[in-house]
């Protein structure tokens, strides 16, 4: 993968400011790109942008191909004539600042988007109709199944709610013939619910029209977008429902084995994710076409693709369905080089970033390196007081240990913010950070408030070709800015939003200076 020395910011669009309820890909997304350009930052990394369900995690989407309707900008739809002033006016309980309240946003915004879609379908002029039909044709491989899936899901979700049956999904609640995707049953449903399915297609047209314009603007201003896809897909998704033979399911569409990670230092019972596992032998029969389509689709929308839990391609932790923890799982070989050879054959030298954190084996490293895929280095993992000094400071996450073929981060969406980590670190850890940053030069000291920016500077100065920082770290936001705490629900997971004041000229000037000092302007103008 060709990586010019660059730097940028990690910020999911839901965290953009000022729009009602949730960040969107409208006006403030463009302002953020302008701010990145002023700061000479050429990378904007986001999280997966698919439609989220229970728990609001972008890593558990109803479709790996679809866009999140909640990110659609309503003011843009109004300007295009698909909504009126009155229709875009939010209720008083929807706010433009503070944490995202996903439940409230869904309750208000989805009906508004359906109204816009209906008005578009009724009144679109000929040029827009042609554009819409072309979109449907280009994306039929996933869009048809997604739209039907969502129309069925909405019907049976509403029914399950009336019956107080929580946790209902296609595999345990829908009629059997629909649940197993019996062609006649699916066709009959569609025939009697054409408008409902078409509404979902129009909403996807809105999303990808807005996203395409935004990406074009970003690229024209020298900013490249780093997208993200989870290795696994959600059980309650159109992907699993429509292609059940590609997953480890029984005859009723229920998973026989599910994904997770084994017990480790952080969890005595491991992590039980619950995603259905792929049937890699079945996928190999047609040359991994599903994966080729998935990555090709992403590369139409972003410039680089980060794949979460990359180690699962070498071997994955398989837990029998029904287990309450991940303890009784086992490692099973993944597709390894066979998949990536096929991807390279079909798509060329693709720009993939491998999330290679956690328990990484020699086999995972070899798979990553054989295909020249950059891995990740996270500064928060670098300062282990138990390791420091045993044989010199050789923790692989310390900047002096980096090789160029990696992406340096202060933290990720799953970590505390850097300032939050510093606030909660032991005295010994903080002193180790201070010692590393100053080299114990006599008379040189970094005060507490200077540690976070000094760590950003250290990552900028490293040999890593890419350096990316959560926006929260640039402004030393504490733990209240944490995006996600893994294996938890509730709290403020995925809900943080920036303020418009975070597009600060002084911070932009500082980043511009760092980029000049450490040669990170090489990605400009692409």
Contacts of 248 (CB under 8 A, 6+ apart): 255, 256, 257, 276, 277, 278, 279
- The answer to whether 414 is a known catalytic residue is yes
Query: What three-state secondary structure class fits 187?
Result: helix
Helix (H) or strand (E) holding 145: helix 140-162
- What residue has token string 């490692």? 331
Q: Is 355 a catalytic residue?
A: yes
Q: How far apart are CA 245 and CA 227, in angstroms?
A: 27
Phi and psi torsions of 283, nearest 5°: -65, -35
Q: What distances in angstroms separate CA 84 from CA 77, 107, 112, 164, 464, one per listed residue? A: 9, 19, 10, 36, 49
Structure tokens at 372: 């020249």
Dihedral sign for Cα atoms in the order 53, 58, 63, 69: positive
Q: How far apart, in whole angstroms, are the C-alpha atoms of residue 237 and residue 270? A: 24
Structure tokens of 465? 């070709």
Distances (CA, A) of 171 to 51, 87, 448: 19, 36, 53
What is the rounded CA–CA span in Å between residue 135 and residue 328?
45
Quick count: other Cβ atoms within 10 Å of Cβ 396?
13
Closest-CA residue to 312 (of 290, 332, 342): 332
CB contact at 8 A, 383 and 433 = yes
> Three-state SS string across 212-259, please?
HHHHHHHHHCCCEEEEEEECCCCCCCHHHHHCHHHECECCCCCECEEE
Residue 264 appears among annotated catalytic residues: no
Q: How far is CA 395 from the centre of its chain?
A: 27
Give the span between the Cα atoms of 128 and 134, in whole angstroms: 10
Torsion angles phi and psi, residue 466, rounded to 5? -110, 140
Q: Which residues pair with 378 in a beta bridge?
A: 409
- Judging by beta carbons within 10 Å of its beta carbon (0-12, 13-18, 19+), is residue 285 exposed, middle or buried? exposed
Please return the burial class of 211, using the count of CB atoms within 10 Å of its CB with bins 0-12, 13-18 and 19+. buried
Q: Structure tokens of 437?
A: 């940053």
Q: Which residues contact 167 (CB under 8 A, 6 or more apart)?
A: none
Considering the candidates 37, 236, 239, 308, report the single residue annotated as catalytic. 308
DSSP annotation of 20 reads: S
Q: Which residues contact 322 (CB under 8 A, 6 or more apart)?
A: none
The residue from 144, 198, 405, 414 that is catalytic is 414
Rg (CA), the chain: 23
- Candidate list 196, 355, 356, 473, residue with the active-site label: 355
Q: Which residues sit opposite 6 in a β-bridge?
A: 466
DSSP code, position 255 = B
List, by residue number, the catalytic residues: 308, 355, 414
């Amino acid at each position: 993968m060709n990586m010019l020395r660059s730097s940028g910011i990690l910020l999911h669009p839901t965290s953009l400011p000022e729009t009602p309820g949730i960040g969107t890909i409208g006006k403030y997304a463009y302002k953020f790109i302008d701010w990145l350009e002023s700061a000479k930052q050429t990378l904007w990394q986001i999280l997966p942008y698919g439609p989220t369900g229970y728990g609001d995690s972008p890593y558990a989407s109803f479709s790996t191909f679809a866009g999140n309707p909640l990110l659609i900008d309503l003011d843009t739809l109004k300007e295009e004539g698909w909504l009126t002033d009155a229709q875009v006016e939010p209720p008083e309980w929807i706010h433009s600042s503070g944490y995202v309240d996903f439940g409230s946003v869904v309750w208000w915004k989805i009906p508004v988007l359906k109204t816009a879609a209906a008005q578009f379908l009724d009144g679109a002029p000929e040029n827009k109709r042609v554009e819409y039909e072309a979109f449907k044709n280009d994306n039929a491989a996933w869009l048809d199944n997604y739209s039907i899936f969502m129309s069925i899901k909405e019907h049976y979700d509403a029914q399950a709610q009336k019956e107080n049956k929580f946790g209902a999904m296609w595999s345990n609640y829908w009629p059997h013939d629909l649940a197993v995707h019996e062609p006649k049953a699916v066709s009959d449903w569609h025939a009697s619910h054409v408008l409902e399915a078409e509404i979902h297609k129009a909403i996807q047209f809105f999303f990808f029209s807005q996203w395409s314009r935004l990406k074009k603007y970003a690229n024209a201003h020298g900013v490249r977008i780093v997208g993200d896809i989870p290795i696994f897909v959600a059980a309650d998704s159109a992907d699993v429902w429509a292609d059940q033979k590609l997953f480890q399911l029984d005859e009723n569409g229920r998973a026989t084995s599910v994904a997770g990670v084994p017990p480790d230092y952080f969890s005595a019972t491991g992590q039980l994710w619950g995603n259905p596992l792929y049937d890699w032998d079945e996928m190999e029969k047609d040359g991994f076409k599903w994966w080729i389509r998935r990555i090709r689709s992403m590369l139409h929308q972003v410039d680089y693709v980060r794949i979460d839990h990359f180690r699962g391609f070498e071997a994955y932790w398989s837990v029998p369905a029904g287990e309450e923890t991940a303890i009784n799982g086992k490692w099973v070989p993944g597709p390894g080089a066979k998949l990536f050879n096929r991807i390279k054959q079909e798509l060329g030298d693709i720009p993939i970033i491998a999330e290679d954190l956690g328990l990484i084996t020699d086999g995972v490293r070899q798979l990553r390196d054989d295909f020249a895929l950059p891995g990740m280095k996270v500064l928060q993992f670098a300062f282990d007081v138990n390791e420091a000094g045993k044989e010199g400071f050789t923790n692989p996450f310390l900047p002096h240990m980096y090789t160029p073929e990696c992406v340096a981060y202060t933290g990720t969406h799953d970590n505390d913010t850097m300032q939050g980590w510093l606030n909660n670190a032991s005295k010994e850890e903080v002193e180790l950070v201070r010692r590393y940053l100053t080299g114990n030069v006599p008379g040189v000291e970094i005060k507490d408030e200077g540690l976070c920016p000094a760590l950003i500077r250290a990552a900028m100065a490293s040999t890593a070709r890419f350096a990316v920082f959560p926006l929260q770290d640039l402004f030393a936001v504490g733990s209240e800015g944490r995006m996600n705490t893994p294996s938890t629900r509730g709290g403020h997971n995925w809900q943080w939003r920036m303020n418009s004041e975070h597009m600060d000229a002084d911070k932009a000037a500082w980043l511009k200076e760092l980029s000049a000092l450490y040669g990170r302007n090489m990605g400009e103008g692409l």
